[in-house]
């Protein structure tokens, strides 16, 4: 298994996030990727490579130019307001709710942050843009490796990506790595690409990016949005729109679900991907389905991730795997590498 590793990921390290009415230390921390790296090295599971470098124009294949411009300049704008802001992260405090305009870019910095954010749990820091960009390069590199004949490749970076939409951040995510990988595979000539999201939290950003397209099939197994973040997408009746009608599959499960129910949903998702005729698969590999995860509610065990890896390998498609969530830090390395080793 080839792994592309973002060795600069710790440059993004939020201080606090808003959680259940108070500012708390961030759940999304550098130790997440560090634990996966240590376990990969311990098991000697293939080469560990720096990502290739890609033109930022590829990011604009998925994300809007004005959003990318905001991310690239946000920290400098924050410091220009007050030099003391260097010791404070950026969190939004105002949002354009229904009926308010989003087409006009405000001059006020706080208003711009709220225009491009959908929650108060995703601190933007001095290193956020550089780290997210490098993470995108990891995912694009993994896609390039698969295009070059590798059966699979893994993008190891953080923060995750699947909650980021074409023009918004949230859920710890700034750039959508899985969507970028899928788009890159498609741009290289693959007419049908599937994205399978196995994170506990619905990949709202990925769904939104491809919802009206027939060339990228999106399937997600996740906690029921009636009770689980991100709440406002992920229902079973969301099946695509326009040309994309029928190419979106959501399989929400109740909190407390174990591997039996989860693996049954996986079979439904993989059967749909097979019917779609996918030529390559991108996996949003969230490991917050683990029983010990502090902000999730499924009950998978570490050995279940071996079974997941075996099942993904049997699909027989060139596969890009991208690290998403997983906040039980001590178990994350074992769980992630169980998937990769069993696949390999």
Alpha-carbon 205 to chain mean position: 8
* Total residue length of the chain: 344
Show the tokens assigned to 326: 């997983």
Q: Name, in order, each residue with C-beta under 8 angstroms of 17's C-beta and a sequence gap of 6 or more.
A: 23, 24, 25, 26, 27, 28, 91, 120, 121, 122, 123
Give the distance, in angstroms, between the CA of residue 88 and the centroid of all CA atoms in the same chain.
25
Decide: residue 173, CB within 10 A, 0-12 exposed, 13-18 middle, 19+ buried.
Answer: buried
Please count the CA atoms within 13 angstroms of the CA of 165 that sit on its side-chain side. 15
Q: Are strands 22-25 and 152-156 parallel, antiparallel or unpaired?
A: unpaired
CA distance 77 to 82: 9
Tokens 């989003």 -> residue = 102
- Residues marked as catalytic: 163
Q: What are phi and psi of 237, to 5 degrees?
A: -85, 5
Query: What is d(CA 130, CA 120) in angstroms, rounded to the nearest whole number?
Result: 21
Q: Which residues pair with 156 in a beta bridge?
A: 5
């Amino acid at each position: 298994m080839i792994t592309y590793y973002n060795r600069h990921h710790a440059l993004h390290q939020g201080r606090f996030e808003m959680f259940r009415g108070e500012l708390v230390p961030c759940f999304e921390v550098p130790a997440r990727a560090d634990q996966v790296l240590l376990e990969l090295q311990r098991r000697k599971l293939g080469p560990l490579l720096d990502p290739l470098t890609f033109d930022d124009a590829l990011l604009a294949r998925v994300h809007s130019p004005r959003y990318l411009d905001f991310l690239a300049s946000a920290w400098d704008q924050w410091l220009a307001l007050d030099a003391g802001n260097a010791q404070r992260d950026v969190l939004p405090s105002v949002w354009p709710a229904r009926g308010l305009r989003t087409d006009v870019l405000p001059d006020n910095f706080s208003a711009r942050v709220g225009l491009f954010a959908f929650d108060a749990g995703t601190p933007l820091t001095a290193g956020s843009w550089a780290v997210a960009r490098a993470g995108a390069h990891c995912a694009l590199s993994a896609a390039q490796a698969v295009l070059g004949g590798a059966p699979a490749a893994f993008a190891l970076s953080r923060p995750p990506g699947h909650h980021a939409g074409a023009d918004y951040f949230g859920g710890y995510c700034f750039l959508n790595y899985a969507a970028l990988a899928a788009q890159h595979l498609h741009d290289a000539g693959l007419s049908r690409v599937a994205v399978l999201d196995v994170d506990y939290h619905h990949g709202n950003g990925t769904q939104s990016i491809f919802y009206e397209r027939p060339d990228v099939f999106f399937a997600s197994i996740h906690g029921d949005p009636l009770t689980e973040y991100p709440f406002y997408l992920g229902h079973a009746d969301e099946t695509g729109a326009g040309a994309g009608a029928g190419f979106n599959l959501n399989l929400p499960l109740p909190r407390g679900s174990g591997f039996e129910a989860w693996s049954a949903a996986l079979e439904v998702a993989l059967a749909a991907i097979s019917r779609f005729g996918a030529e390559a698969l991108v996996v949003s590999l969230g490991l917050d389905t683990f029983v010990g995860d502090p902000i999730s509610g499924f009950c998978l065990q570490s050995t279940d991730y071996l079974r997941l890896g075996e099942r993904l390998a049997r699909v027989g498609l060139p596969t890009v795997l991208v690290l998403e969530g997983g906040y039980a830090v001590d178990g994350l390395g074992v769980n992630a590498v169980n998937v990769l080793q069993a696949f390999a």
